[in-house]
Structure 1
């Protein structure tokens, strides 16, 4: 039986996105930010979780890589990484590899903030 990460690996190998390399890099940053984070396929896309669903790639975005943080309103992000005014969710967008690298630290902080909130 395949692990959830193996299923995500297979999905990512078949998924066709103009910024595939950037998607792979964002996925790696999230997974390496905290060993407690898990991943699986949910809502038809790779999703990340710790105790509850945290974030999912948004497949319709083609000009950038978009991660939807489902309860992003709970996350203290003073960096401006998380955008939006939805009552609950916030989005992080990455336009190219330079942008991914520039936002890497802030993305890691958001992920660790999620783990901290879930442990309170």
Structure 2
């Protein structure tokens, strides 16, 4: 299910960034139908919309991925991504606050890491406390 606000934001992006964001829009909901999109921090973002145990909103447990469009690069920001197991092969830098960030410059970068991305998101979904 697409969000018209995300459509509008993407329409204003350069073609390469549009291609990457649209690929993510197709890829993530195919992993789980409870993954939805919206705008967060002025960026396209994906979150888990399904049932979860109660938690403090500042823990960002529902947030899966924010696509930060940053100076010609795309940062895939996983707000709680540091908990994704290394065995998935999903690379990126883990931060002390729990984030994982992966930098993309081209669509080809996304294609090269697609299987690891799928494995990492699937791992993240399996860790959700329902």
Fold match by TM threshold 0.5: yes
How far does residue 41 in structure 1 lie from its aligned partner after superposition? 0.6
Residue 71 of structure 1 pairs with residue 80 of structure 2:
yes
Structure with the larger RCO, 1 or 2 (CA within 8 Å, 6+ apart): 1
How many aligned residue pairs are there? Answer: 117
TM-score if structure 2 supplies the norm length? 0.75
Query: What's the RMSD between the two structures over aligned residues?
Result: 2.3
Is the 8 Å Cα contact of residues 72 and 82 (structure 1) preserved in structure 2?
no
Distance 2:123 2:94 in 1: 19
TM-score, scaled to structure 1: 0.80
Separation in structure 2 between the aligned mates of residue 34 and residue 16 of structure 1, nearest angstrom: 28
TM superposition shift of 1:99? 2.1
Structure 2 stretches lacking a partner, 5+ long: 50-61
Runs of at least 5 residues in structure 1 that lack an aligned partner in the other structure: none
Q: Which residue of 1 aligns with 2:53?
A: none
Report how far residue 75 of structure 1 moved.
0.8
Match of 1:100 among 110, 113, 130: 110
Q: Which runs of 4+ in 1 moved over 6 A?
A: none
